[in-house]
Amino acid sequence: MTARVVPAISRTFRFVNKVGVVELLIMGVAYVFYELVRGAVVERTVEATSRAIGIMEFEQRLGLWAWEGKMQAWVLSSDLLVYLFNAIYVYGYLPLIVGVGAWLFFFHRQRYVLLRNAFLISGGIGLIIFNLLPTAPPRLLPWPLSDQVVDTMSAFSKIHYDLNPATFVNHYAAIPSFHFGWVLLLSIGIIWTVRHFWGIALGVTMPAAMFLAVVVTGNHFIIDVLAGTVVALIGLGLALLLQRYGPRLWRLILPGRIFQHLARSPEV
């Protein structure tokens, strides 16, 4: 019985994995879980706002807060720049993740698996931070500090907020910035995979543009970006370790027959 069932399960798994069904389920469930857990601290307004004020004061001592003001003033000098960076903030995030992810999945599966694991690991770390340290973005600083920051998404184009149901919106998940951290992971994946000038140029431009977008739209402090970078790179480092030592762990966990059949499947 086992001799027939295990190969059948293995063949079925290889097929659904090849066409992407397994990945859609994994990433779909992970994203919904991420958004639901991320939204669990929406009532902790006072704590999140106090932490944002603390970050602003820390940035003032470092001289970063003045730079954020100058960057936003430059963008606000032109409606075209405002719409450009609003668009980068929206369309340079989830649509980019889906597009680059699909390209890597179908044409560079090993690289895809590495980055997928980096996303999942860093996302898990981020959920812990969101719940332990809820933080409001600069655009939600209380008056009179709010006069120093313009919420360009609400003032010029509300598409980002309107596209997300209230259940999935957590305004107090500013740190770490995954808008930057995950785009950085995509950029690293592109540079590793496309080893020529245009690949490197795209890989450098994407995080630079997103860095400006998250700051000038009033959605993240520079400190949030730095935290997003650290968490993303930790996720990548752990994913590299998993890629190297993962098969040994699976060999210990799974029965020998099942491991041998799954080992013939594309990487998972």
The mean pLDDT value of the chain amounts to 82
Least reliable range by pLDDT among 40-44, 54-58, 194-198, 259-263: 259-263
Asked if the model's pLDDT at residue 5 lies above 60, the reply is: no
Q: What is the pTM of this model?
A: 0.82
Per-residue pLDDT of 210-253, as tens digits, reads 999 999 999 999 999 999 999 999 999 999 998 888 666 655 55
Least reliable range by pLDDT among 32-36, 58-62, 105-109, 257-261: 257-261
**pLDDT for the residue numbered 138:** 95
Which of 23 and 140 is assigned the larger pLDDT? 140
**pLDDT for the residue numbered 32:** 72
What is the CB-side half-sphere exposure of residue 115 using CA atoms within 13 A?
A: 26
Cα separations (Å) of 205 from 24, 135, 183, 189, 267? 28, 28, 10, 13, 30
Which of 195 and 135 is assigned the larger pLDDT? 135
Per-residue pLDDT of 54-84, as tens digits, reads 999 999 999 999 999 999 999 999 999 999 9
Asked if the model's pLDDT at residue 42 lies above 90, the reply is: no
Per-residue pLDDT of 118-157, as tens digits, reads 999 999 999 899 889 999 999 999 988 888 899 998 878 7
- Across residues 173-186, what is the average pLDDT? 95
**pLDDT for the residue numbered 11:** 46
Strand partners, 135: 173
* Sign of the four-CA dihedral 34, 39, 40, 44: positive
Residue 103: name the closest of 189, 180, 39 by CA. Answer: 189
Distance CA 66, CA 82 (A): 19
CB atoms within 10 A of CB 91: 12
